[in-house]
Amino acid sequence: MARTKQTARKRERSVVTWTRFHLPKEQEWPTWAVAHEDVHVGPLADIGGAWKVWLGRMMENPEQAAYIIKWRDLENLKKFQSSAACAEFLQNLPENDSLQVSIENSTSALSSLTVEDASSSSSPPAPASSRFLILQESTQRPAADVEGRVTFNAFLVPRKPGDDPTQSAYQGLRGQLCNFQPRGSEFIRGHGLHWQDYMTTWFWMIEEDNWVQSKFGKLEQTEEHTQGRAVICEFHLWPRKYGATPEHEEASAADPEARKSWNEAVAKVMPPVTAWVQERWDISEIPRYEPPWEPDEEELEQERKLQDFLEYHRQHPKPEVRWCGTRW
């Protein structure tokens, strides 16, 4: 019988979203207006395709949080974005401190505001897509999860009409920065082949959010030409399994020489990079609710049979057999 050739299934590049929101320092997890059995993921619990979830806090601004989701694929994400669950998700993750915004608005010149002014100043809510920074893994090779202390870098690469610099820009950036270790992290040493690959994880941006536009500006689109750009993201990890601790990351962040080493490394990729943003994050996996196991009738029947079997042999033990004399 002839053997059929089996080809190895390629690992799909994961799709990850970041949704930034305001989370008070004294509040550990986001809360939902509607009660959910899985209290930390809320409306996500009823949506298929969300593989894993994390909560991040920015080190420089701890009340700036991010809800990070790894999706099965882009199709599942798009289904979620068009669902009622997405509206509930975003409603309970406010972009700003609503109390502070209310105070700031109340100090404006309300006395001169007319009904016409109020109606004209109201603007429609931002589309749901503007709250999701959508990233796609740059390679199909296994990579470390982005968690623990993380140095996040976003690199802007402009492009001309008809040109797609994403792949070439990623290759150039990775070639220069994949083995870079900022001052204060030189002691980190892993083990195994290509262990350095687990020190950094690379993504490229496939859909921008409000944060990207606030950092790099809005894309200018005219009838004559459409301006484009690629944003390549590197997550520099501080993995505990290789000896790094939060204290090591904090010491490196406070060291001017470490910042200088970052500037020197990034200068090697300018151009094509024209702008660079760096942030420090602390990211933890969000705990999931595991409902208590409830056996079905078939499992209960198997358990009864097992208990009957054990009980029978306890009451009817086999006689002990002893061999003596002749050797077989």
Q: Which CATH number fits domain 15-99+126-285: 1.20.272, 3.30.70, 3.40.50, 1.10.10?
A: 3.30.70
* Percent of the chain that is helix, strand, coil (3-state, to 5): 35, 20, 45
Phi, psi at 26, each rounded to 5°? -80, -5
Question: Angle at CA 29, nearest 5°, toward 25 and 34?
Answer: 125
Q: Where are the domains of the chain?
A: 15-99+126-285
- DSSP designation for 319: P
Average pLDDT of span 72-101: 84
Q: How far is CA 215 from CA 18, 204, 218, in A?
A: 15, 16, 9
Residue 164's pLDDT band (boundaries 50, 70, 90)? low
pLDDT digits (tens, 9 = 90+) for 227-284: 578 888 999 888 888 888 899 999 999 999 999 999 998 998 888 888 999 999 999 9
Mean pLDDT, the chain, integer: 77
DSSP structure class, residue 9: P
Position 211 pLDDT exceeds 50: yes
Name every residue whose Cβ is closer than 8 Å to that of residue 135 and which is 6 or more positions away in sequence: 15, 16, 17, 18, 203, 204, 205, 206, 233
- Indicate if the pLDDT at residue 19 is higher than 90: yes
From 41-45, 176-180, 215-219, the region with the lowest mean pLDDT: 176-180
pLDDT of residue 312: 76
Question: Is the predicted pLDDT of residue 223 greater than 50, yes or no?
Answer: no
Task: Name the least confident of 35-39, 55-59, 209-213.
Answer: 35-39
Q: Is the pLDDT of residue 44 over 60?
A: yes
pLDDT score, position 292: 62
Do residues 148 and 237 make contact, with C-beta atoms less than 8 angstroms apart? Answer: yes
Least confident of 56-70, 119-133, 183-197, 256-270: 119-133
User: pLDDT band at residue 326, thresholds of 50, 70 and 90?
Assistant: low
Which position has the higher pLDDT, 47 or 113? 47
Q: Which residue has the higher pLDDT, 314 or 211?
A: 211
Q: Residue 11 pLDDT more than 70?
A: no
DSSP string, 171-227: HHHHHHHTT---TT-TT----STTGGGGTEEEEEEEE--HHHHHHH-PPPB-SS-B-
Q: Can you tell me the mean pLDDT for 204-222?
A: 83
pTM (two decimals)? 0.73
